[in-house]
Structure 1
Amino acid sequence: MPDARGIEKQAVRVEEQYDRVIATLDRPEVRNAIDQAMVDELHALCEMLEQSPRILILTGAGGVFASGADIAQLRDRTAADARKSINATVFDRVRRLPMPVIAAVDGYALGGGAELAYAADIRIGSDRVRFGNPETGLGIIAAAGATWRLPEIVGHARASELLLTGRVIDAAEAQRWGLISSVHGADDLLPAAHALADRIAANGARATELTKHMLLTPPDEHLGIVGDVQAELFDSAEKHERMTAFLERKKNR
């Protein structure tokens, strides 16, 4: 949507660095509600990261991650729209990006906003974070990932409680449940996300990609492919260089 100067405003503000991309959901006037424009821009972001793999940090503007799907648009969607799985499709694309995705969640992450956060590999939160899936209160289901990703993250019983009651949990409970791995002051949240990205970026890029690939592979398929995955790395120049450097450091201690 154009701003007061007639300039088209992006729903997702993207900052590129050589080893990472920071994507900020930027519709603060509607608490970063996820509309079709944001979905389209997330697809464009995924296309860029599929072609040029880098770590992705996802966050939100204005002290909110995302308050959910844009209800004004959602109310008018039909059964045909539901069958397109509009949000689920883009969130799955985020989930399957080659390199890790870190969600730095501040304030509300509700409905579709929570489901976008669930698609990340690592979630950290501010001390004012609030997670919830109130979809049943609106007469629909959480259909963009919560019913299958949330049980993997927090367990079936806790996921059932959240999805069936629609209640909202705070940062302390989210951390106890393992929904977020750490809690930070709002001003420290993005630096903490960058610190995680720094640690990931210091490792072998291809080894990181393949580790994520294995984490997304069903357990009963691991034995059939893990040898070939490791074989690629065993024959790589980077493995030899990194292990040689490790042995040199150990020798010089």
Structure 2
Amino acid sequence: MAASPRALFRLVVASARSRVLLLPPPARPLLGARACSTGAQFHYLAVQKTGTQQNVGLIQLNRPQALNALCEGLMEELRRALEAMENDPQVGAIVITGSQKAFAAGADIKEMQNKGFQECYSSGFLSGWDKVSTVRKPVIAAVNGYALGGGCELAMMCDIIYAGEKAQFGQPEILLGTIPGAGGTQRLTRAVGKSLAMEMVLTGDRISAAEAKEAGLVSKVFPVDKLLNAAIACAEKIASNSKLVAAMAKESVNAAFETTLAEGTRTEKRLFYATFATDDRREGMTAFVEKRKAKFTDS
């Protein structure tokens, strides 16, 4: 029987209250994967490059003793890993995943429980958590297990969400006497509509992977053991295109999500015109006419 939201958050709190932080072993590398040469050590993440062309950056949240609860240390490492992949010309797309049990069960309650209004307001608490949403390269969330609270918000910051068939999504902050603070009320409402978002936020209830797909929160659902490979395959397909033009396409789609129709279409037109200043647009159209595969140079 699935744990209730209250029971799940008690587990996260209990795990986070441990005085001694046990560092988990690194995740087992995928076949054909290699460590990402960022020059950085990660305690809460396993970071590597994968894919047949080594052009997919893979970030695995790796804090299993707390169901991948998002502590400040983990989020700081995530920012560093994303910056490294953003600056790596070989990487064309990024996959963020967790474990089969939990993508991320929420923010670390221990770090929040004693904070006051002045401290939160003055320090801009959680303001740096949106790094995922500002990365110019496409980011795919591969979600197995729990994606609750901050975990659901983190998944929604990604450009594409693939879910394992046992995944569960929710914003149960109301059960802790607070509300989502990292974009949950905004992105969830845009993704699934006002009624379902309001129900989830006000009750703390979770939805299944199938319900999330039906509502438009995720694009595809896979068997648990097939999820990560499917996400990597999608990332490889994206990375095989022009990285420069992919960034433009991502910016244009985000404009539809974040602005009015008039502003969005203006952005789209401007970016469409901009592709005509690239070598990759010329190569893509020439290859089409010549009936051959395009060889993009990201220029």
Q: Same fold (TM over 0.5)?
A: yes
1:46 to 72, 76, 82: 82
Question: Unaligned stretches of 5+ in structure 2?
Answer: 1-20, 26-40, 293-299
User: How far apart are residue 62 of structure 1 and its match?
Assistant: 4.9
Aligned equivalents of 2:215, 2:132: Cα separation in 1: 23
Q: Secondary structure at the match of 2:126?
A: helix
Matched, 1:76 2:114: yes
**1:143 is matched with which residue?**
181
CA displacement, residues 113-137 of structure 1 (integer Å, 9 cap, x when unaligned): 1110111110011111011111011
Structure-2 residue corresponding to 1:95: 133
- The AA in structure 2 aligned to 1:87 is L
Q: Does residue 52 of structure 2 align to residue 14 of structure 1?
A: no
Match of 1:202 in 2: 240
- Of 144-153 and 229-238, more deviation after overlay is shown by 229-238
Partner of 2:70: 34
Deviates more, 1:229-238 or 1:219-228: 219-228
Offset from partner CA, 1:62-105 (integer Å, 9 cap, x none): 52100101112221222234324443532x22111101110000
| Aligned residue identity for 1:42 | L
1:221 to 2:279 alignment: no
Question: Normalised by the size of structure 2, how large is the TM-score?
Answer: 0.76
* Structure 1 residue 247, shift from structure 2 partner: 1.5
CA–CA distance in structure 2, aligned partners of residues 183 and 228 of structure 1: 34
* 1:241 aligns to 2:270 (yes or no): no
Q: In 2, are the aligned partners of 1:27 and 1:61 still within 8 Å (CA)?
A: no
1:95 and 1:212 map into 2 onto residues whose CA distance is 11
For residues 236 and 196 of structure 1, what CA distance do their matches in structure 2 show?
24
Is the CA contact (8 Å cut-off) linking 2:102 and 2:144 kept in structure 1?
Answer: yes
User: Residue 71 of structure 2 aligns to which amino acid in structure 1?
Assistant: D
User: Does the C-alpha gap of structure 1 residues 160 and 44 become closer, same or farther in structure 2, counting only changes over 3 Å?
Assistant: same
What is the letter of the counterpart of residue 57 of structure 1? V
Percent sequence identity over aligned pairs: 34
Q: How many angstroms does 1:230 deviate by?
A: 2.1
Give the secondary structure class of the aligned counterpart of 1:203.
Answer: coil
Q: Which residue of 2 aligns with 1:130?
A: 168
Q: Distance in 1 between matches of 2:267 and 2:168?
A: 39
Q: CA RMSD in A?
A: 2.1
- One-letter identity of the residue aligned with 2:275: L
Native 8 Å contact 1:2 1:9 kept in 2: no
Aligned to 1:178: 216
Q: Report the count of equivalent residues.
A: 247
Q: Counterparts of 2:288 and 2:125 in 1: how far apart (Å)?
A: 47
| Residues 21 and 57, structure 1, Cα contact 8 Å, conserved in 2 | yes
Contact 1:31 1:62 in 2 (8 A): no
Measure the CA separation in 2 of the matches of 1:132 and 1:85: 24
| Amino acid paired to 1:10 | H
Q: Distance in 2 between matches of 1:225 and 1:114?
A: 28
AA in 2 matched with 1:247: V
Match of 1:164 in 2: 202
Aligned-partner SS, 1:57:
strand
TM-score, normalising length from structure 1?
0.90
Residue aligned with 1:14, SS: strand
Supply the distance in 1 between the matched residues of 2:66 and 2:77 (Cα, whole angstroms): 17
Amino acid at match of 1:236: T
Distance in 2 (CA, whole Å) between partners of 1:221 and 1:114 is 28
- Displacement of 1:231 in angstroms is 2.5
